[in-house]
Amino acid sequence: MSIRSKRPSEIKHAQKESVLAREVAQFLVRIIQDDQRLQGLYVNRARLSPDKGTCLVYIHTSGGLKDFEAKFQFLVVYKPSIRASLSKTLQGRYTPQIKFLYDAAVDKTRHVDDLIDRLKEEGKL
């Protein structure tokens, strides 16, 4: 049984996603120092579209979706600055458009963990 190895283009794509997530997170940390309205936002991951034209940045906040929606209007103001910063960091001809999305994966994981804990307490697991 053989494991399919990744093609070089897939590796480059994954590396670029990693760089995008790291750079956006670092830029967001600098922004938060100046703008307290964005306190509590965390970049969990970034996904690059296959054509590399769009970068989906998944953000989580401990306040949940409502908190993200409240802070989203302030976050969008910084989108051009984040994109300009990325253009200096990324190697390539184009800098992807940035879309910020709420990352509900953390909430789902927390919910599953709570269910498992409850089942353990009830002796059903």
Stated pTM of the model:
0.76
Report the b/e string of 25-60 with b at 16+ CB within 10 A: bebbeebeeeeeebeebebebbebeeebeebbbbbb
Q: With pLDDT > 70 as the criterion, what percentage of the chain qualifies?
A: 91
Per-residue pLDDT at 94: 83
Burial label for 91, CB within 10 Å (0-12, 13-18, 19+), is exposed
Token pair 């409240």 is found at 70
Going by DSSP bridges, is the β-strand pair 97-102/54-61 parallel, antiparallel, or unpaired?
parallel
Task: Collect the ranges in the chain with pLDDT lower than 50.
Answer: 1-3
Per-residue pLDDT at 9: 60
What Rg do the C-alpha atoms of the chain give, in angstroms?
18
Other residues' Cβ atoms within 10 Å of the Cβ of residue 20 = 24
Helix (H) or strand (E) holding 113: helix 105-121
**CATH superfamily name and code, 8-121:** K homology (KH) domain (3.30.300.20)
Q: So where are the chain's domains?
A: 8-121
The predicted-structure confidence for 106-121, as pLDDT tens digits, reads as follows 888 988 999 999 989 9
